[in-house]
Amino acid sequence: MDVHGARLLVVGATGEFGGLVAALAADRGARVVPAGRDAGRLAAVARRVGSPSPLAFDAYDLDRCSALAALAAEHLGGLDAVLVTVGAVAFGRAQDASAEIEEHLMAVNALAPIAVLRGALRAVGRGGAVGAVTGIVVERPTASAGAYRASKAALSGWLETARLEQRTRAVGVLEARLPHLANGFAARALAGVPPRLPAGSDPGPWAGAVLDALFAGTDLVR
């Protein structure tokens, strides 16, 4: 599937990484609908990608999350691909994590993306693609990130099952297990202090790699 002319929904486009993907897709000729929580940032991204129909949502509103793809398809006259880039992180030893933080991580990193993608699978036609960002933490445990890893692993497991189910429809299901990126994500933790991390990777090339993989029908980027 070619990016040029494709109809793409980017959920989490108000974040650093999602904004990069949305802008890159627009620059390559895709028709992009951005979705995000922050109204000011969402308006700015919409202007950047030339979208007259940005979609606001909150991760705790799962009904709204599951409706995003259908709304984007209505605006675009159909939908070819959906990418979910939302995420939140918190740090702390397993015995010290609060139930409130654990619930928030599971809502933002697993339940909301799953709801979006559930709706996306109904809206994207045969030969289309859906995908989401998890993280290398899924396969490489990191001290003080147990709750974060658990939420991303939940999404990873859902993606693996969806990929198996969608083979008969030739719908690609991408998982992007990104490394630590130099975009300030860890510094914006909801709680705790980040452990010592390797130098962050430049997010630009990764945005390109994820966009390419989504439209190539790739299963995994890491």
pLDDT at 198 over 90: no
Q: Reduced to 3 states, what is the DSSP secondary structure of residue 211?
A: helix
Predicted confidence at residue 182, as pLDDT, reads 83
pLDDT at 39 over 90: yes
Predicted confidence at residue 175, as pLDDT, reads 98
The predicted model gives 201-214 an average pLDDT of 97
Q: What is the pTM of this model?
A: 0.96
pLDDT at 37 over 80: yes
Q: Reduced to 3 states, what is the DSSP secondary structure of residue 143?
A: coil
Predicted confidence at residue 183, as pLDDT, reads 86
Predicted confidence at residue 200, as pLDDT, reads 86
Cβ-based neighbours of 83, under 8 Å, separated by 6 or more: 8, 9, 10, 11, 18, 21, 130, 131, 132, 133, 174, 210, 211, 214
Predicted confidence at residue 126, as pLDDT, reads 96
Predicted confidence at residue 194, as pLDDT, reads 82
Lowest mean pLDDT among 28-32, 79-83, 129-133, 191-195: 191-195
Task: Please write the tens of the pLDDT for every residue from 149-194.
Answer: 999 999 999 999 999 999 999 999 999 999 989 888 877 878 888 8
197 pLDDT band, cuts 50/70/90, is: confident
Residue linked to tokens 């299963």: 219
The predicted model gives 27-40 an average pLDDT of 98
Task: Please write the tens of the pLDDT for every residue from 73-107.
Answer: 999 999 999 999 999 999 999 898 899 999 999 99
Neighbour count for residue 149 (Cβ, 10 Å): 21
Residue 16 vs residues 143, 204, 215: alpha-carbon distances, Å: 25, 10, 21
Phi, psi angle pair for 131, to nearest 5°: -170, 170
Predicted confidence at residue 184, as pLDDT, reads 80
Predicted confidence at residue 217, as pLDDT, reads 96
